[in-house]
Chains A and B, each alone.
Chain A
């Protein structure tokens, strides 16, 4: 199925506004105008530090939302479940959006036949607060004056309009930023799915040859992806050409490099690795005892499908005074097979519990043990729900 193209929007304005060639925007616009989809879910820029999801059937709104927001670490999964489960929709999906949607489909919260996932490669997002600190500390800019951010050739560029009307642009290497403790979110630094292979299309700038800017590299991954692409071409919204072999190779190489980097971040950031068994126990108890049971981490989690009738809520009682609350124990336990390490839970936690690390440590070892990666294929059920073990049974029983 997999075929690779370079593609771009025919409409010059979309192409100009789009992050790479406006292909994603043009495809969504054409699907809306031809009635191929009922609605599109895109991300509207409020400022450099804020992007909000909008569900719309107005092509003009979609055009307004062209471009990539790197400091808007949202996950679109729960918006699809809550507002668009009955609709035929198209949306841009970072790898973690696509994996979340697949997990919801496994739990019968959405019907994948109605969802067209235009995947975006993802090098990672920045936490808005870190981004503001970074602008002030390292770029010497007033955070509120920053009007544009861009990631190019491994550097983050910030463009600001200072009060006097003077324009400034500065770029600093991501490696350098991250050495100093700024840069991408922890979850993204250690995220190993950079190309959204569980989407219908995978789009990005990796693999676009030098000198060919304003084109999007597109990989067709499913029949649905092919259908929405064909619709966009036939209705005259996008142009495509065969991707050059060197581009395909280049993309593969960058992806492999990024994944290797992520593995090394994982090692470097995991403070628990060096601890003994009892120290590890103390770490978990101390980290989780700050929880105020606001429930935010559960609400945003793209793989949890329990809504209000959840065991972790039902079985939790503030009066228990367990060393770790039933809520936390059950959330960690239930996600061992399904956590996709997206870091949404940590982003919203009001008491800054290092949830990404905790969820990752428990789930990664389980997923390795199971030989299972969540969010990749709707045909693989969550192993915790299975009757049979995924591996040869006899060797496992004590």
Chain B
């Protein structure tokens, strides 16, 4: 029997953009070290955080992600010279946008995570998931009402 959406229990959906060289490797490390990650996370790998067009983040939110994480190499470590400086610049715009739109600021995250920081990656995912569980589903999701 097809279960109606409304009968399901709400679980947060968290979208994480990870740069190939650092934060994706960091996520990998978290797995290799057998750290527990909440199942809420969906990872999209991009070559560099500079490839994360703000439009991707906004589309993720419109598609119903309860939070979007933007992650990349630490400032100074970007494999494409300084593209993560651009990420940082664009993120300021996203932050203001999300706040003005009336979404909770905690639906948007920026973290720099290196390839060896598996623990940091796992902690971040846990922290975000907990926060999102507290504030509930995104009002942009059409299948859940708060």
Contact = CB atoms under 8 A, between A and B. Distances in A.
A323 B101 CA distance: 12
Given A365-B96, A369-B96, A388 B89 contact: yes
Contacts of B142: 321, 323
A323 to B, nearest CB: 5
Interface stretch (B4-12, B17-25, B40-48, B52-60): B52-60
Given A278-B102, A280-B102, A333 B88 contact: no
A386 interface: yes
B116 interface: no
Contact of A362 (B55, B100, B103): B100
Contacts of B104: 277
Given A326-B59, A333-B54, A366 B102 contact: no
Interface residues of B, number: 28
Given A333-B93, A336-B93, A389 B103 contact: no
A348 interface: no
B110 interface: yes
Contacts, number: 83
Contact of A281 (B86, B92, B96, B101): B101
B89 A386 contact: yes
B89 A383 contact: yes
A179 interface: no
Contacts of B109: 398
Given A323-B142, A366-B93, A281 B102 contact: yes
A163 interface: no
A326 B60 CA distance: 11
Interface string B57-100: 01100110000000000010000001001101110111011001
A396 B55 contact: no
A278 B86 CA distance: 30
B75 to A, nearest CB: 8
A322 B55 CA distance: 14
B139 interface: yes
Given A396-B92, A398-B109, A387 B97 contact: no
A88 to B, nearest CB: 36
Query: Which of B55, B75, B88 has the largest number of chain A CB atoms within 10 A?
Result: B55
Interface string A210-233: 000000000000000000000000
B89 A336 contact: no
A292 interface: no
Interface residues of A, number: 37
Chain B: interface secondary structure? Answer: helix
Interface in B107-139: 109-110, 139
A311 interface: yes
Given A281-B103, A284-B102, A322-B140, A330 B90 contact: no
Contact of A369 (B88, B90, B92, B139): B92
A336 B85 CA distance: 19
Interface in A357-392: 361-362, 365-366, 369, 383-384, 386-389
Contact of A389 (B59, B92, B94, B139): B92
Given A311-B55, A322-B140, A326-B59, A397 B96 contact: no
A93 B88 CA distance: 36
Given A332-B97, A333-B54, A387 B89 contact: yes
A337 B75 CA distance: 24
A337 B62 contact: no
A361 to B, nearest CB: 6
Contacts of A315: 55, 59
29 contacts: A278-B102, A278-B139, A281-B101, A281-B103, A284-B101, A315-B59, A326-B59, A326-B62, A329-B62, A330-B55, A330-B58, A332-B97, A333-B54, A333-B55, A333-B94, A336-B93, A336-B96, A337-B93, A369-B92, A387-B82, A387-B89, A389-B85, A389-B88, A389-B89, A389-B92, A393-B88, A396-B88, A397-B88, A398-B109
Given A322-B63, A366-B96, A389-B88, 20 more contacts: A277-B104, A278-B102, A281-B101, A281-B103, A283-B102, A311-B55, A323-B142, A326-B58, A326-B59, A326-B62, A329-B58, A329-B62, A336-B97, A362-B96, A362-B97, A362-B100, A383-B89, A387-B85, A389-B92, A396-B92
Per CB-CB distance, the 7 closest pairs between chain A and chain B, nearest first, are: A281-B102, A280-B102, A322-B62, A366-B96, A277-B102, A387-B85, A323-B140
Interface of A: 277-284, 311, 315, 320-324, 326, 329-330, 332-333, 336-337, 361-362, 365-366, 369, 383-384, 386-389, 393, 396-398
